Amino acid sequence: MAADLLELLDREHISSAHLLGHSLGGKTAMHFSLLHSERIDGLIVADIAPVDYPNRHEHILEVLSHIHPEELASRQAIERELSRHFNDPSFRKFLLKGVKKHGDSYRWTFNLASIIRGYSGLQEAVLGWQPHEGPVLFLRGGESDYVQEEHLVLIRTLFPYAEIETIERAGHWIHADAPKEFGDRVMAFLDRA
């Protein structure tokens, strides 16, 4: 995925950029920044650390693989299907952001089959030979266990100038749980970076 990101930046003639990634996107952004530090103006990592994680999403992926948006008539029908498996309305809203209308039907905007195939590799730690010494913001949810105190040593090793902030009333889906505070902190970091 870091190679895909490099290809995108090159194709669009973007010499450097600010990157923001949540969870898997955060791991991708961290990996990219360690490989291509010169292409990063600022890095924002939302509720993920550069560590190995146990399997946390197998149930979610299993459920999504059995929901076929193209067979459902509306976003409300898709949400009803999601509600059979997920109680949290903000999590369902987050998943619905991955549904788009295409012609007369709906579809997932992400490549679910590829995520399922590569899931074990996606859980692995982020490694780098050289630390990324540019500006970095780690935002973690106060009600999430994804970024723990023992992870801070590795974060500081790979990203020595990282700022680490907590949004207290947010879980792992930090941008969905606290969108205003998340946005305010992102914009403040971008102003500084």
The CATH 3.40.50.1820 domain(s) of the chain lie at 2-53+125-192
Its pTM surpasses 0.85: no
Please report the pLDDT score of residue 176 as a whole number.
86
Per-residue pLDDT, 114:
87
Which structure tokens are listed for 112? Answer: 């679910």
pLDDT, position 45:
98
User: Which residues does the chain have with pLDDT short of 70?
Assistant: none
Judged on CB neighbours under 10 Å (0-12, 13-18, 19+), 132 is buried
> Taking a C-beta distance cutoff of 8 angstroms, is the pair 136, 46 a contact?
no
Q: How far apart are CA 47 and CA 13, in angstroms?
A: 29
Enzyme catalytic residues = 23, 172
Start-to-end C-alpha separation, the chain: 24
Q: pLDDT tens, 147-172?
A: 999 999 999 999 999 999 999 999 99
Superfamily of domain 2-53+125-192: Alpha/Beta hydrolase fold, catalytic domain (3.40.50.1820)
Which pLDDT belongs to residue 49? 96
What is the structure's pLDDT at 84? 95
What pLDDT, on the 0 to 100 scale, is given for residue 126? 85
Spatial distance between the Cα atoms of 170 and 75, rounded to a whole number of angstroms: 25
Torsion of CA 53, 59, 61, 65, to 10 degrees: 160
Is 9 within 8 Å of 17 (Cβ atoms)?
yes
- How far, CA to CA in Å, does 27 sit from each of 2, 30, 33, 64? 9, 5, 10, 22
